[in-house]
Amino acid sequence: MISASSIDQVFETARVEEVIGDFVQLKKAGSNFKGLSPFSDERSPSFMVSPVKQIWKDFSTGKGGTAVSFLMEHEHFTYPEAIRYLAKKYNIEIEETEQSNEQKEKANERESLYLVSEFANAYFQKVLHKTDQGKSIGLSYFKERGFTDDTIKKFDLGYSLNEWQAFTDEALKQGYNIDFLEKTGLTIVKEDKRFDRFKGRVMFPIKSMSGRVLGYGGRILITDKKAAKYVNSPESDIYHKSKVLYGIYHAKQSIAKEDNCYLVEGYTDVIQFHQRGIKNVVSSSGTALTSEQIRLINRLTKNITVLFDGDAAGMRASLRGIDLILEQGMNVKVCSFPEGEDPDSFAKQNTLDELTTYLNDNAKDFIQFKASILFEDSKNDPIKKAETVRDIVNSISKIPDRIKKEIYIQECARIMDLSEEVLFSTLAQIDKKEIQEEQKNNKTEQKAFDVIKHQQPVKKVDVQYVLERKIIEILLLYGNKTEDFEDLVLKENDKGDLELEPVIHQAKVFEKVFLDLQDDEMQFTNEQFKTLYYTIIDRLNQDANFELKKIINIADQNVSPAITSILMDDDKYELSRWNEQNIFPKTKIEGLTQFVSETILRLRCHLIEKKIDEFMSSINPDKGEQNREILNNTQDYLNLKTLLSRKLGKVL
């Protein structure tokens, strides 16, 4: 268990903009920060972070909360894991107890897979540095590659003994379950036999953006024609190779800072670049580039520079990855190295200045790069040249931004020495073909560029939901403020009629709300608002000076999105820079008394209307006496509604 004081210290120290900034590229937007949602595929930023309120809100999915809830949503951490992660980030010491074997067995499967992977990470490093075989084979290999001790330690590089089940035996001895060893792929189970998957290999742990070990890449060091040079962990509940990039954990901050990401092919390419001083580099780990991997980069930057080996065949095979990047609306440059060189060897042989200069001077626009590669095959062949032009225009067609498309078409026309009209015509043909294919797949008869009107169903406003939300908003933003309120007291006049008489008294906002709603015996219909209401009232009753911004730290995680939505909406519609025009609009806080009183009055009116509807629906034509009583009650409520409505200035 983590102590309450440790949790409080984490919440006090952690800065939501810094935590989220490790995963999402944030840009200043007034007093807040904006970025692309990490939870949906979007091109216009709708993800907001408030440093003042220390919360975030994703308007594309409705999610929101604190730094802790972000880690729970994004990294699938449990609450204690998120607290530990933040404690480590901010060097906060927290009280923890060692998990017993029984607790390990009770842990959920996903967490068990993480535990096994972390154990393996520590084990392989220990073998590399503490055993004769590890030092003579594994460590020697890394030293030959030019990796320093600091680099080896930073990337948690390790070695798996060249023995059939050395790792498996040690894991079982330490109490780890064979089922989870098998599910992570670290151990291969065949009937009653067990084998280490990475036997005799140097180990490259593959980490998530938050630094959790998801899987491994292992390279064999002996010559064995039957064994693959590289072996990766198989797919599991925690490792999906199409959704992870090697090196992203170490590169994320540099990618956001430099606003560019270098994309390479192998593990050692990443490590060598990082050691040389270029840290904004990641690898697809030898697998074909996927849209999920590109979206991972897209959260941090819109710019990718793809680095290819000097091998022409390899470059051609990788060209399709450029189209995938373009489809995501990103900017692509391509840089190749001299023949016989790769990013690893080139970085090793050159200084940081030389490497940086080379990358800046040789990074080409994707059109120039494609043209230079494909034209080699079609120098004196008009048919092949036409195919090359079509291939480049096809890449341009993947770009979602129409302005960028036009600029690239103009650039392509200049390079190819062709008219823009021809290229625009080719682009239109490709676009039309894609539309037809899409229509065919969807089995629709919609014609290209037809305008279709969709009749949207009229959405009925849930008045009670809106008013309940307003009550919560009042409590969150102004609950512990003291104001002079004008209460309306029902009294009989000289003629015996009911009238509302104003009475002024001073009270805390939360007291005013609570007493008025209690008088009306009002019950929240929305469960989230109900939970929030009683949580806030309870806290303020215990401590009238309680900081309401901390309510999100103690509230149930299910209601965090509701809280952040209310708090962020308060910023969203704030008037801006009107004072410069000598216009001074009245702020919400200046009209707080009226705002609170009107909201409560509207809620009371709504409840009265519901009560009147209930009375009217209960009238039975066969029960005259009962009906008279119902009509009398209805009339009383109508009179009360008239009085309240007049106070609100409503037209009946």
Q: Once rounded to an integer, what is the mean pLDDT over residues 505-527? A: 77
More confident residue, 492 or 295: 295
CA–CA separation, 247 and 157 (whole Å):
12
The amino acid sitting at 488 is L
Q: Percentage of the chain surpassing pLDDT 70?
A: 80
Q: Once rounded to an integer, what is the mean pLDDT over residues 534-560? A: 75
Say if CB 490 and CB 503 are below 8 A apart. Answer: no
Q: What is the DSSP letter of 139?
A: I
**The pLDDT of residue 126 is above 50:** yes
**The pLDDT of residue 41 is above 70:** yes
Cite the residue boundaries of each domain of the chain with CATH code 3.90.580.10: 4-89
What is the rounded average pLDDT for all residues in the chain?
Answer: 82
Residue 207 pLDDT level (bands cut at 50, 70, 90) = very high
Query: Which pLDDT value is given to residue 571?
Result: 57
pLDDT digits (tens, 9 = 90+) for 222-257: 877 778 889 999 999 999 999 999 999 999 889 988
Helices 312-327 + 291-298 axis angle, to 10: 60
- For 458, phi then psi, to 5°, come to -70, 125
The lowest-confidence range among 294-298, 392-396, 475-479, 604-608 is 604-608
Q: Once rounded to an integer, what is the mean pLDDT over residues 544-563? A: 72
Q: Once rounded to an integer, what is the mean pLDDT over residues 633-637? A: 72
**The pLDDT of residue 501 is above 50:** yes
Which of 16-25, 154-163, 288-297, 532-541 has the largest mean confidence? 154-163
Query: Which whole-number Å values give the CA distances from 592 to 167, 475, 481, in the listed order?
Result: 66, 12, 10
Say if CB 392 and CB 370 are below 8 A apart. Answer: yes
Say if CB 203 and CB 166 are below 8 A apart. Answer: no
Cite the residue boundaries of each domain of the chain with CATH code 3.90.980.10: 101-239
**The pLDDT of residue 186 is above 90:** yes
Say if CB 56 and CB 65 are below 8 A apart. Answer: yes
- The arrangement of secondary structure in 101-239, i.e. its CATH architecture, is Alpha-Beta Complex (3.90)
- Give SS3 for 254: helix
Say if CB 307 and CB 262 are below 8 A apart. Answer: yes
- Helices of type H across 573-623: 592-617
pLDDT digits (tens, 9 = 90+) for 399-448: 888 888 888 888 888 887 788 888 888 888 887 776 666 666 655 444 43
Say if CB 315 and CB 309 are below 8 A apart. Answer: yes
More confident residue, 410 or 622: 410
Query: Which pLDDT value is given to residue 621?
Result: 66
pTM over the 0.75 mark? no
Cite the residue boundaries of each domain of the chain with CATH code 3.40.1360.10: 248-442
Query: Which pLDDT value is given to residue 275?
Result: 97
The lowest-confidence range among 100-109, 293-302, 336-345 is 100-109
CATH ID of 4-89, from 3.90.580.10, 3.30.70.660, 2.60.120.620, 3.30.390.30: 3.90.580.10
More confident residue, 647 or 381: 381
Helices 79-89 + 67-74 axis angle, to 10: 120
Q: Once rounded to an integer, what is the mean pLDDT over residues 208-232? A: 88
Q: Once rounded to an integer, what is the mean pLDDT over residues 595-612? A: 80
Q: Once rounded to an integer, what is the mean pLDDT over residues 565-569? A: 77
The lowest-confidence range among 196-205, 304-313, 336-345 is 304-313
Which of 189-193, 268-272, 538-542 has the largest mean confidence? 268-272
Class of domain 248-442: alpha beta
CA–CA separation, 203 and 473 (whole Å):
53
More confident residue, 611 or 322: 322
CA–CA separation, 570 and 64 (whole Å):
14
Say if CB 196 and CB 218 are below 8 A apart. Answer: no
Residue 451 pLDDT level (bands cut at 50, 70, 90) = very low
CA atoms within 13 A on the CB side of 647: 24
CA–CA separation, 68 and 94 (whole Å):
15
**The pLDDT of residue 197 is above 80:** yes
Residue 454 pLDDT level (bands cut at 50, 70, 90) = very low
Query: Which pLDDT value is given to residue 447?
Result: 46
CA–CA separation, 225 and 230 (whole Å):
12
CA–CA separation, 113 and 538 (whole Å):
40
- Helices of type H across 479-591: 509-519, 527-542, 551-554, 560-572
Query: Which pLDDT value is given to residue 650?
Result: 47
**The pLDDT of residue 105 is above 70:** no
Query: Which pLDDT value is given to residue 343?
Result: 94
The lowest-confidence range among 297-301, 325-329, 500-504 is 500-504
